[in-house]
A and B are shown apart, each in its own frame.
Chain A
Amino acid sequence: MSVQLSLGELALSLVLVAVAVAVSLWRRADLEKDLGLAVLRSFLQLTAVGYVIQAIFDSDSLLLVVALLAVMVGVGTWTAQRRARSVPHATFPILIALSLAAASTLGVVLALGVFEATPRYLVPVGGIVIGNAMTAAAVALNRLADEVHAQAPRLEATLALGATSRQAAAPLVTQSLRSGMITLIDQTKTTGIVAFPGIMTGMLLAGADPVDAVRLQLVILWTLLGSVSLSALLALSLGYRGFFTDAHQLRELPEV
């Protein structure tokens, strides 16, 4: 079971990019440059990643896998803290959240023997887990920042009654946790009805048996539920502190 595409066939799919460029030109949406850049970047980045993955598969070295996952965690942390810019000192909480969420969920599926501990499984699954954990952490922390801004008077009123920052922030952390998790929960609820999830689609295109494709997709979806909730929880449990001082004072909020 494998699909082979020549570079020529690959180039033919650019016809549809040409449609997008035409639409952009016709409606003067001024997206031609961005479309070109997007095509170029996706080609270069994925090709480069393809070679890296090929090299790692060939080496069959778990050390290299761990190194690659560490790079993903690093880039994911940097991306998430940029998105959650309104959260003070967010880098460390996000780093911990991504590392632990990835390590624990990968550890569980490996320990249970769902996947073999080989690069072929660890690299793509790790990538999906880290990517989703990153989004969940960033969404949850951004929501926390919004809540802290909106509810600053109530937070201070609660602190003024002798509450610790943890006690004062607890209801906001709960709200933000819901925000971080709800997207994936909704996607999981409607999966297969509204949209075909990516892994299943890929396997079907590659010629796999639909039942196999569905089962693998379910393993991934359920793994993601676990990793996303862990990531959001960890990011929030550590991240709320950035809004407070050690003396349980609400910090001045940065202008967004």
Chain B
Amino acid sequence: MSAARGGRRVLDGIDLSLADGEVTALLGPSGSGKSSLLRLLNRLADPDEGTVRFHGEDVRGLDPLDLRRRAVLVPQLPAPLPGTVAENLSFGPRLAGRDVPEVVRCLARSGLGDEYAERDASRLSVGEGQRVMLARALALEPEALLLDEPTSALDDDAREGIERTLGEIGLPMVLVTHDRAQAARLAGRIVEIEKGRLA
């Protein structure tokens, strides 16, 4: 696959297959194109050349909304919607026409106590916010998680906590990181990207 952004080629001739059930780290310095690659996986963007397949199917043939609920992206920084944490968790399932998610269970899987449910989602620390982003993704009962530098804005303690939680979730993941040690701690497979190419 190849992709351009802002008239600049950010991905060039990427050919990659990710195994189901595995945690894969996309490792590279900032600006290497790893986040751009991640955004192709749930069709927040499309490649200019080439095809992204999910379970063998061209993602352009899938409903993009449904795809994004199956492979849920956790953003680099907390991006809470207005309202409580519980409302944030219910947002995705409600749009999908599903029942209200098990908020407490999603919070627990993300390492948050049930007292967070009624907190104002915009008044949390970055570390707490990132866990809410994780819980919000889990509330969609995804088949896989796409993580975009989930700990880049955190101090070491908070980072260790999130890493532990990620290790316990037990879902296939694609983890974008610039931190080689983190990739080694979390991922079964490390894919290195440099200047838009597989290194």
- Assess the B68–A162 pair: CB atoms within 8 A: yes
User: Given that A164-B65, A247-B43 are contacting pairs, would A157 and B95 also be in contact in the complex, using a CB cutoff of 8 Å?
Assistant: no
Besides the contacts A158-B91, A250-B44, what 19 more A-B pairs have beta carbons closer than 8 Å? A153-B75, A154-B79, A154-B81, A156-B44, A158-B79, A160-B42, A160-B72, A161-B68, A161-B69, A161-B91, A161-B92, A161-B137, A162-B69, A162-B140, A163-B65, A163-B92, A164-B65, A164-B95, A171-B82
Contact present for B82 and A162 (CB under 8 Å): no
Query: A156-B75, A171-B82, A248-B65 in contact; A162/B96 too (CB < 8 A)?
Result: yes
Contact indicator B82/A160 (Cβ below 8 Å) = no
Residue of A157, A160, A162 with most partner-chain B CB within 10 A: A160
Chain A residue nearest to B64 in the complex (CB): A247
What 6 A-B pairs are tightest by C-beta distance, nearest first?
A157-B79, A161-B92, A160-B73, A162-B69, A154-B79, A162-B65
Q: Is the CB of A162 within 8 A of B92?
A: yes
Across-interface contacts of A160 in B (CB, < 8 A): 42, 44, 68, 72-73, 75
A171 CB contacts on chain B under 8 angstroms: 82
Number of interface residues of B (CB under 8 A): 29
Residues of the A chain whose Cβ atoms lie less than 8 Å from the Cβ of B154: none
Query: CA separation between A118 and B60, bound complex, in Å?
Result: 56
Q: Are B81 and A249 touching (Cβ within 8 A)?
A: no
How far apart are the CA atoms of A164 and B64 in the complex, in Å?
Answer: 9
A159 to B39, CA, bound (A): 11
B66 near A: Cβ within 8 Å?
Answer: yes
State whether the Cβ of B46 lies closer than 8 Å to any Cβ in chain A: yes
